[in-house]
Structure 1
Amino acid sequence: MNSVQRLRGQLRPALMVMWMTVACATTVWADDRVALTPLDQLPDGVELRGKQVGAYTWTDRQGKNLLVLGEQTSERDDDGTQSAFVYAAQYLLDGGRPKRVWMLYDDVQRCEFDAGVHFNPQATQVTDLLGDGVTQATVGYSRTCTSDVSPNEFKLIMHVGKTQRYRLRGVDRYGASWWDEDAGALQGMPLPKDCSAAGQQALVSQFKEQGTELPLPGCYGDEDDFAKAPQPYLDFMRQQWFALMAKQDTTWSQTQEPSDDQPDDQ
């Protein structure tokens, strides 16, 4: 069982935000070398846990591959707690029974607040970063057990074959800023552009009133998983992390700013 800690951010008025995963009807290009084709019906022998939120096929040196993504949030138990999980797996489809290459499962168990574990569809990428026909499958998801609007734990995970796994783990930008009516501007820790310890500390020194707990909203904790990885893996994961955080930061900020088309008071 995974331990879950509540993220202690500044309490702000709760907002009802609904996230929807939209199935893509056309081929998705994840990289110059790799095309992902959405799949509606899973082949026999492929396990799915929870509700299917994505399934994609592609071909590399190993043959035809399948990536399936599932997630589920339970109703509250009699004691008021709630649980949620995400599931991902890669299979090789060789004409016979599918062979599972790797599986990912992460959950929040018996949360006394609001449990949530959700994939970010834009994080799903398949690449051939070394140009050798061996692909890397990357997924990303948020994980939380909170009662307020505050950043979630975020994990970006790359799998290469059966045994190689590389992760960036930190905090996303959900709830990282809010509109201050008195100042007429967004307040909150700005989006970091450098997630090194020194880079985060430098940002903290400029915005001490926003708190000093690391990692900052939009940053990961360390790059230890990549100590022996090929440099292109880390380069890609850094780029992917910051692109996801920038997109989320923009989307969240737009929900906080007052609308320009609101009628003036009479």
Structure 2
Amino acid sequence: MNSVQLLRGQLRPALLGSLIGLLMTVACAAPAQADDAVALSSLDQVPDGVEVRGKQIAAYTWDDRQGKNLLVLAEQISERDDDGTQSAFVYAAQYLIDGNRPKRVWMLYDDVQHCQFDASLRFDRAATKVTDLSGDGITQATVGYSRTCTSDVSPNEFKLIMHVGKAQKYRLRGVDRYGAAWWDEEAGALRGMPLPKDCSVAGQQALVSQYKEQGTELPLPGCYGDEKDFAKAPEAYLTFMREHWFALMQKQDSEWSQAQLQPQAPTEEDDTAP
């Protein structure tokens, strides 16, 4: 059983988390730096020779020391099979556009196969960033996406992945904030574990102890598991990825919390009730 499955069963106990506490968390964490961001140009149609698997949702171009680059993102959720299961995938690739012969630098493909519930893989467009963190003209392309196979409203797996050239890949893998809070009508407040400010094991365990959620498996919603991929990476890479992760989780947390506070449209049953 993975951590997402465990979290679904264990984050529902009555935890009185006020709206103020949740929104203060959003305000306190540091935003991702934009100083090293590279300007991207959107592209509606990719050139011949660029492979697209599934439905294209975005494509971008930019220039660096290597030449003209292209990043394409695509995703697909299939119809249910005869056995009732569902599959989904995401696809991304970076190309160097060299004349009429695009050369693929790297490819990303992830899927959920034969899910008995609802399968979903979706890119978070806000996660797509191209940076020049070393200032040497060699860029880093970062994408992020959620992945789930579930029958309820609960946090998804989330992966934030940085590619540098053909061979270097650095990942943060954890759980997002979708479904991490919900409105309690009786208490008149949001319930749920607030967005962590520190994704270290000690930081997460301290939050678990504070909210008396002993036995909850890490990572908590809004956190990643570890930083092992960055053991030999330049320090600037990890700094950027930490800040970018928290900025994305803050955005998700704020949007989800606000959605829970919106007045619900009356149902037909409400309209006809005496």
Aligned to 1:124: 128
Aligned to 2:82: 78
Aligned to 1:189: 193
| 1:59 aligned onto 2:56 | no
SS in 2 for 1:98: strand
SS in 1 for 2:238: helix
CA contact (8 A) 2:3 2:219 kept: no
| 1:137 aligned onto 2:115 | no
TM-score by length of 2: 0.84
1:68 to 45, 69, 72: 72
Query: Normalized per residue, which structure has more helix?
Result: 2
Structure 2: runs of 5 or more not aligned: 13-33, 267-274
What is the alpha-carbon distance in structure 2 between the residues aligned to residue 210 and residue 257 of structure 1?
Answer: 28
Aligned to 1:179: 183
SS in 2 for 1:208: coil
- Opposite residue 47 of structure 2, the aligned amino acid is P
Structure 1: runs of 5 or more not aligned: 13-29
Q: 1:103 to 1:31 in 2, by over 3 A?
A: farther
TM-fit CA distance, 1:34:
1.5
CA contact (8 A) 1:4 1:108 kept: no
What is the alpha-carbon distance in structure 1 between the residues aligned to residue 215 and residue 246 of structure 2?
Answer: 21
Aligned to 1:27: none
Aligned to 1:115: 119
1:90 to 88, 94, 98: 94
Aligned to 2:255: 251
TM-fit CA distance, 1:227:
0.3
- Opposite residue 229 of structure 2, the aligned amino acid is D
Question: How much identity, in percent, do the aligned residues show?
Answer: 78
TM-fit CA distance, 1:4:
8.1
Please give the per-residue CA displacement for 1:82-129, whole angstroms capped at 9, x wherever unaligned: 000000000000113100000000000000000000000000000000
| 1:40 aligned onto 2:44 | yes
Aligned to 1:17: none
Aligned to 2:106: 102
What is the alpha-carbon distance in structure 1 between the residues aligned to residue 134 and residue 206 of structure 2?
Answer: 34
TM-score by length of 1: 0.87
Q: 1:210 to 1:37 in 2, by over 3 A?
A: farther
CA contact (8 A) 2:4 2:155 kept: no
Aligned to 1:23: none
- Opposite residue 55 of structure 1, the aligned amino acid is A
CA contact (8 A) 1:7 1:151 kept: no
Aligned to 1:205: 209
SS in 1 for 2:224: coil
What is the RMSD of the two structures over their aligned residues, measured on CA atoms?
2.2
Aligned to 1:227: 231
Q: 1:210 to 1:185 in 2, by over 3 A?
A: farther
Number of equivalences: 244
- Opposite residue 233 of structure 2, the aligned amino acid is A
Aligned to 1:7: 5
CA contact (8 A) 1:140 1:156 kept: yes
